Chain A
Amino acid sequence: MSEAYIVDYVRSPFTFAKKGALANVRPEALGAHVVRALLDKAGVPGDEIEDIVWACAFQEGEQGLNLGRVVGLEAGLPVTTCGMTINRWCGSALQAVQAAAGMLKMGAGDAFVAGGTECTSRVPMMGFNLLPPPGWTQQQVDAYVTVGLSAETIAREHNISREEQDLFAHNSHQKALSAQRGGRFDAEIAPYDTGEGVVDKDGCIKDTSLKKMAMLKPAFLKGGTVTAATASPFTDGSAAVLVCGEEFLKRHDLKPLARIVSFAVSGCEPGKMGLGPIESSRKALKRAGMTIADMGVIEMNEAFSSQAEASRRALDIDPDILNMDGGAIALGHPLGATGARLVGKCATLLHRENKRYGLATQCMGGGMGIAMVLEAA
């Protein structure tokens, strides 16, 4: 049985939905762009790819035609390369990486592109036709759908103050700004030519101040503490990683970034979905035979400051190794793409920071967590 490796990682710039530079780009175009860029960067021919394992959280309209297959065709891959689309909401692309690794480990292929796309400008969060089970109460719908309320619940129950949330978000922006100015995103971003200009930088990062952030009104709950600044913004973006087995690496003389060590998902109360990383990370670490102290790099999604900080505290994560180049509050959170960014980022950071083990983890709407442990290869 082959081990599964992360060989390379590419993403598009992440930009604001509606007002950002990628708002007019169709999802398959953005997805195909990162797939082509990934294969070019890795130097792997498209006909060697078994499957495009793609992620998208709102598979409706333009994103509803089995996006993974459309992305593969649009990327110019041969028709013999297959394509699928996975949905685990915000964690879809991390799940896509695992799905590729799982197929690889059972011998069902030795090279996969895993990643995802979310063009929130074009298919909004919750889609155009929100149709929950008719037997649900309003409270059940709130818990499942209105994730801002879950951020409030977690802030309240875990005593994450408004100031602490603002500070967490401010740090995220400052780390991302520093990375952007230092050119530390350049290797991962594949610039996109919209026809009206080349977009080569993330669009959501802001050099804002705590003072300005403190002036914002609560976004989800009257008298609450979660604001637009402490929530990840609606974002357009796409990300992909190349997942390969040992034979494939040898055959193509590839040097991988990381080996996938373990993986886990977990469930929790839908109304506290932001706590998802806690149990899923514990399970993944246990399966790896490790503890959080063994991790040198951790990429945890920042859906909201409150849930990320509550999860950080519960898992006892050293802030210095968490989201070193900023997280989703600063970079944005294209739901279907974020998981691939976290895995790709974690794998590249292991090398940059010369660390052995890393963790990528996310909360997911509906009350779920997802986590993957990587080892530098």
Chain B
Amino acid sequence: MGRVSSEQAGTDAAARHDGPSLPALLAGDNEIAGNSEASLRDIGDGLALFEIHRKMNSFDPVVQDMLEETLARAGRGFRALILANGSDRAFSAGADLNHFLGLIERKDFDGLTRFIRRGQDLFQAMKYAPVPVVAAVRGVALGGGCEFALHADAIVADADARFGLPEAKLGVLPAWGGCTQMLLRAQAQAIVAGPLAPANAVFELILHGWVSGSAAKARDKGFLRDGDRIVEAGGDVFAAAKARAIELADDYSPPDKPLITTTGHSGWLGLMQPAYGMAYAGRLTDTDLRIGGAVADVLTGGPEGEYLWRVSEDDLMRRELDALVELCRTAETRDRMAHFLKTGEPLHN
């Protein structure tokens, strides 16, 4: 996985930037739009702030409503968007698991499909929005929260921020573009090149639900890219994010839509071989293999895919969605998620 040389934006850079602090802005009378769970704020300099304000800043449909409204205004009311909130514990812990598990337990798979599809659509809309988006990450950015940050143009992270895609521990896979965006990052930044090596690095991260102990470790694993910044402990992440947003706003144009190289079933066999080896040795369960197989499907373009085909983000994200809904139909996935919600610990079933 690519080790990128992120710039270290220390307290000096942050301190140089004038303007009100984040707590002052969050308490200020600057809301452009808002609902019970999230707000869009005008923070001056042509910048806007999207803020989630709920437990662990997780995503439910009400947060999605506000993100949709925010993106609809992009380019009209503001020239750059910052994703930040007042918590030092959580940038976002991902999808609201109570909402998620409720859909599963009611067997409302159409509702689940809509919830996931909408998340994908919103994050894609954010990635290709006419304005740059900067994620100011403090605390955890996990699961859907990590995917939220991965779709930003840039990440500015506190040194102690923790990134990860631990969905497999909850019986599912990253389906808000997490597999797809991590594969794109790995292919762009791979130390070890080749048709499968970048996918292999991503596969291992997702299969084992890896979570970084620090922003630097997340950078080593490809969550952060060149141009992303790590702010020293005690530094002002928000001020650094604001500076980054202003930098990006000049002459901004959205990224081109990439094509992603896949390896088809040959690559699937290659990715899964070590996983099967671990299962034979008793270190992975059949449920782990099922989830791994679904992740490998996404990362290789699926069983009907061909070696060195080039596919779109949409192709892979459709696979993420289908695979997630399939997994959610199984008792083992439901048990994993319910157990985690109840105990805060993963279930090894």
Contact = CB atoms under 8 A, between A and B. Distances in A.
Do A and B belong to a common assembly? yes
Interface in B238-264: 263-264
Nearest to A144: B273
A148 B197 contact: no
Nearest to B289: A138
Given A149-B280, A218-B281, A220-B280, A128 B196 contact: yes
A219 B194 contact: no
Given A131-B196, A142-B276, A221 B270 contact: no
Given A60-B194, A128-B194, A220-B281, A134 B272 contact: no
A136 B276 CA distance: 15
B273 A130 contact: yes
Interface residues of A, number: 25
Given A142-B276, A146-B277, A220-B280, A131 B266 contact: yes
A127 B265 CA distance: 18
Contact of B307 (A126, A131, A222): A131
B233 interface: no
B72 interface: no
Contacts of A146: 273, 276-277, 280
Interface in A231-252: none
A131 B277 CA distance: 16
A132 interface: yes
Contacts of B34: none
Nearest to A222: B282
B269 A132 contact: yes
Contacts of B282: 218, 221-223
A128 B197 contact: yes
B200 interface: yes
Contacts of A134: 264-266, 269, 307
Max count, chain B CB within 10 A of own CB: residue among A130, A131, A132, A221: A131
Interface string A112-135: 000000000000001011111110
A61 B190 CA distance: 13
A219 B281 contact: yes
B262 to A, nearest CB: 12
Interface of B: 192, 194-197, 200, 263-267, 269-273, 276-277, 280-282, 307
Given A128-B196, A131-B263, A134-B269, 9 more contacts: A128-B197, A129-B270, A131-B196, A132-B269, A136-B269, A142-B280, A146-B277, A219-B281, A221-B280
13 contacts: A60-B194, A61-B192, A129-B195, A130-B196, A131-B266, A131-B270, A132-B273, A141-B269, A141-B276, A146-B277, A220-B281, A221-B282, A222-B281
